């Protein structure tokens, strides 16, 4: 009989700090990380490179189903992402690609094409799954579901800091606008809209430090799953 591997899902809106928490948890538990947003960003990048328009649902679903991508974790927990032999880890992180990802993510056939690929990441010893619908659609039977929220203004500030630290261009006013647009599209779409699973643990992180959020998640993981923590 096969034993199901445990999953911790981390969902929430753009810029809430899911990525930072997930990388930290993955390193502390020694579990791989599924960055599902990267799959939507990769789909958008590959579609744009093929000159597809972003509402060509069958065309983009085909691109999603055929993505040739590898994710390799680095020492710091960050993923190196290679698409068709090219390292696109940085190229997919710009806001333009975040917005394009959110457009292709609203297409039901694209979500369906990526579903099994995401579920295949569930392997021993366990998985940290970062996204919008990890706890509701992709892993509804996850052992622990976390959902982070924060004020939109605070999320724009965090995203701004993150982009500047990576040496990328950023404008705070544009980010506030883009985050609001992306929130609306992600929350209002017909398929797998952004929302907390009924059995998720929800945390408003607006006034919390990253360390506070990480400690909250680790304590829950230790309570719910007999996880071994790497010092």
Q: By rule CB under 6 A, what count of residues binds ligand C5P? A: 14
Judged by CB under 6 A, the stretch of 69-77, 101-109, 166-174, 203-211 that binds ligand C5P is 101-109
36 or 205: CB nearest ligand C5P: 36
Pick one of 28, 132, 145, 159: the residue that binds ligand C5P (CB under 6 A). 132
Using rule CB under 6 A, residue 178 touches ligand C5P: no
Using rule CB under 6 A, residue 32 touches ligand C5P: no
Using rule CB under 6 A, residue 9 touches ligand C5P: no
Residue with tokens 């992402």: 81
Quickly count: other Cβ atoms within 10 Å of residue 59's Cβ. Answer: 17
Minimum Å gap between C-beta 111 and ligand C5P is 7
* Residue 30, token pair as written in the block: 């020694």
Minimum Å gap between C-beta 14 and ligand C5P is 5
98 or 126: CB nearest ligand C5P: 98
Pick one of 105, 142, 200, 203: the residue that binds ligand C5P (CB under 6 A). 105
Using rule CB under 6 A, residue 101 touches ligand C5P: yes
Residue with tokens 């199901």: 4
Using rule CB under 6 A, residue 12 touches ligand C5P: no
Write out the binding residues for ligand C5P, residues 182-221 only, by CB under 6 A: 182, 186
**Residue 81 CA, distance from chain mean position:** 14
53 or 229: CB nearest ligand C5P: 53
Pick one of 23, 102, 136, 205: the residue that binds ligand C5P (CB under 6 A). 102
Binding site for ligand C5P (CB under 6 A): 14, 36-37, 40-41, 98, 101-102, 105, 131-133, 182, 186
């Amino acid at each position: 009989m096969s034993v199901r591997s445990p999953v911790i899902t981390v969902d929430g809106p753009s810029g809430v700090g899911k990525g930072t928490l997930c990388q930290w948890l993955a390193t502390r538990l020694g579990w791989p990380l599924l960055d599902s947003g990267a799959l939507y960003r990769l789909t958008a990048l590959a579609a744009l490179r093929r000159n597809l328009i972003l509402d060509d649902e069958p065309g983009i679903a085909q691109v999603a189903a055929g993505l040739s991508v590898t994710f390799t974790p680095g020492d710091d927990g960050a993923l190196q992402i290679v698409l068709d032999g090219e390292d696109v880890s940085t190229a997919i992180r710009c806001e333009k690609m975040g917005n394009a990802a959110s457009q292709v993510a609203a297409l039901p056939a694209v979500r369906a094409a990526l579903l099994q690929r995401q579920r295949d990441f569930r392997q021993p010893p366990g998985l940290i799954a970062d996204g919008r619908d990890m706890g509701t659609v992709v892993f509804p039977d996850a052992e622990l579901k976390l959902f982070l929220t924060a004020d939109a203004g605070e999320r724009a500030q965090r995203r701004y800091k993150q982009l500047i630290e990576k040496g990328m261009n950023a404008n705070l006013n544009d980010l506030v606008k883009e985050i609001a647009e992306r929130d609306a599209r992600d929350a209002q779409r017909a398929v797998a809209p952004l929302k907390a699973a009924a059995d998720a643990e929800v945390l408003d992180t607006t006034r919390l430090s990253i360390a506070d959020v990480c400690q909250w998640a680790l304590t829950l993981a230790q309570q719910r799953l007999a996880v071994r923590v790497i010092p």
